[in-house]
Each structure stands twice: as C-alpha cells, then as structure tokens.
C-alpha cells in the first residue's frame, strides 16, 4: 500500500472570498436599515436646503416712479430652533413718502411711526409735514421653515431716485436680532444681510406698479391695494406649497430607490447562496 504524502493527508487551505458565504438574515436587515437611514437623511437635507439662503426682501422688486404701489415685505424664518416674533421696517429717510398704509395681517399687530419733515411735501394740493419713518409688526410668529408677507401701500414714489432702500430688523424668539441693513455693492458680492430694495423705473416700464391716484380715488386705491396684496399672498402660498410638495416627492423617490437597490442586493445574495 502506498503511503499518502503529507500534502495528500493535509490538503492546502484555499482562501474563499466573502461571496462564498451567504449573507445571513441579520446582516441583510442591518444593510437594509443602514441604506434606508442614509436615504432619509439625504432627503432631509433637500427639504432643509431651501430657506437657508433666503433674505428679507421687497416684492415685487420694482415700481413706477411718481406712482403708488402695493409691495410686500417677505420675511423667511431662517432658524431651525426659533420663530420670528417681530419685524421693524425703516423707510428711506432720503425719500420720505406721504402715504404708507399697512394691510392687516392676521395674528400680527402693526405700529406706524411718523417723523416731522425738515421740508414739507406737497401732495394733491395738501401740505404734508409728517411722513411715516418706521413700521413695526409684533404679536405673531413665523415658525421654522415658513415665511410671512407684510403688505404695504406706498406712494407717491419719488421721480428723482432709482431705488428706495429699506432697513429691516428681524427679531427671533431666542432674542437674536438679524439686521438686514447692509448696502449691496454694484457688480460686487452680495452682502451677508442685504437691505431690502425697491427699484424705481420710468412709467410704463413695469406692470407691477399701481399707477397714480388723486384725493377722490384714495379709497378706491386702498381697496385695490388690499386686493392686490391678498392676491400676492395667495400666489406666494401656492408657490410655497408647490415647492414643499416637490421636495417631499423627491425624498420619497430617494427612499424608494434606495429600498429597491437593497432588495436587489439581498435577492442576489440569496441566488448566490442557492
């Protein structure tokens, strides 16, 4: 009888890659859980990416010189752990306006402050010795991830200026105050907290201005301002809702895609094991 060689009695070991061993149920579960958590986290970043770069602004951003316009101060809440509880808007002292009428915003109280003018204004045959210098809204809340519009009817807009610069102070529930007062440099980088600006253009250059009115049409113009502000608010709410819906659908798509990929991997492991 022939003696077996040492190699025959003890065959050399063969290294086996990971694929040789089927994935256990616990390993498949951990892999699926990890992938789903990663997908949800990625989707959450999409949802939170929108308001991070928002600024306090005036909308629409243009109006006709010499006319009256209904504008809205759009205030987004940029914090995740605090609500906006106060807005102070200072008007451009270089170009005082004879008429500034805020529209009521549900849940908010408004205070209008006037300043005596060094040089009185003439408006429809009347002498205006005081002009609105500051408007303050308090009492309400803008929750994280939301925004609020504060409509104003303003006029008579100056004819000797190309823009009106407003300065806004946004106060949060944690007592933090963001000062939107920085001037933007033409052709340069945008300021960190730019002041809201209303661009003034020649008559007929924009459809956003309300046009002129006189004493007999003051009430009609006020009604028109209210309707215009309500329409602008409704349109903004629809736009915000559409944007939120799109982000939610994007998150769902990511999660479903990751779940499908995990299912494919698990199925492949089972076929390999079989």
Question: Cα(14)–Cα(199) distance, rounded to whole angstroms?
Answer: 78
Question: Cα(200)–Cα(225) distance, rounded to whole angstroms?
Answer: 18
Within 22-176, residue ranges assigned H as helices are 25-49
Please choose, from the candidates 104, 100, 103, the residue with its C-alpha nearest in 3D space to the C-alpha of residue 113: 100
Distances (CA, A) of 219 to 103, 128, 134, 153, 165: 14, 19, 23, 12, 27
**Residue 60: cis peptide before it, omega within 30 degrees of 0:** yes
Task: With beta carbons less than 8 A apart as the criterion, state whether 126 and 218 touch.
Answer: no
Question: For the segment 135-170, what is each residue's pLDDT rounded down to a tens digit?
Answer: 999 999 999 999 999 999 999 999 999 999 999 999
Q: What is the pLDDT of residue 244?
A: 47
How large is the average pLDDT for residues 44-69? 74
Whether residue 32 is predicted with pLDDT greater than 90 in this model: the reply is: no
Give pTM, 2 decimals. 0.60
Q: Residue 111 — pLDDT band, cuts 50, 70, 90?
A: very high
Q: Residue 121 — pLDDT band, cuts 50, 70, 90?
A: confident
Q: Lowest-pLDDT range, 35-49, 129-143, 165-179, 253-267?
A: 35-49
Domain boundaries, the chain: 54-213
Mean of the per-residue pLDDT values for the chain?
74
Counting Cα atoms < 13 Å in the Cβ hemisphere of 86 gives: 13
Within the chain, residue ranges assigned H as helices are 6-9, 25-49, 218-273
Q: CATH number of the domain at 54-213, out of 2.60.40.10, 3.10.20.90, 3.40.50.1820, 2.60.40.2230?
A: 2.60.40.2230
Question: For the segment 169-187, what is each residue's pLDDT rounded down to a tens digit?
Answer: 999 999 999 999 998 777 7
Q: Residue 124 — pLDDT band, cuts 50, 70, 90?
A: confident
């Amino acid at each position: 009888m022939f003696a077996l060689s040492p190699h025959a009695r003890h065959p050399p070991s063969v290294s086996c890659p990971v694929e040789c061993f089927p994935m256990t149920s616990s390993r498949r579960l951990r892999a699926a859980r990890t992938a789903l958590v990663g997908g949800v986290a990625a989707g959450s970043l999409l949802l939170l990416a929108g308001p991070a770069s928002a600024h306090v602004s005036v909308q629409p951003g243009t109006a006709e010189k010499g006319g009256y316009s209904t504008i809205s101060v759009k205030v987004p809440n940029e914090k995740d752990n605090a609500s906006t509880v106060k807005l102070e808007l200072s008007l451009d002292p270089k170009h005082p306006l004879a008429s500034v009428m805020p529209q009521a915003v549900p849940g908010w109280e408004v205070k209008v402050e006037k300043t005596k003018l060094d040089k009185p204004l003439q408006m429809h045959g009347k002498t205006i010795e005081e002009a609105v210098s500051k408007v303050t809204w308090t009492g309400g809340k803008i929750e994280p991830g939301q925004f609020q519009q504060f409509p104003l009817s303003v006029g008579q807009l100056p004819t000797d200026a190309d823009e009106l610069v407003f300065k806004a102070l946004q106060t949060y529930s944690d007592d933090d105050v963001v000062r939107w007062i920085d001037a933007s440099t033409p052709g340069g980088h945008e300021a960190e907290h730019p002041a809201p600006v209303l661009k003034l253009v020649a008559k007929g250059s924009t459809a956003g201005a309300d046009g002129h009115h006189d004493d007999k049409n003051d009430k009609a113009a006020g009604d028109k301002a209210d309707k215009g502000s309500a329409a602008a608010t409704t349109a903004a709410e629809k736009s915000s809702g559409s944007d939120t819906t799109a982000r939610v659908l994007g998150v769902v798509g990511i999660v479903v895609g990751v779940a499908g990929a995990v299912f494919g991997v698990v199925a492949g492991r089972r076929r390999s094991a079989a």
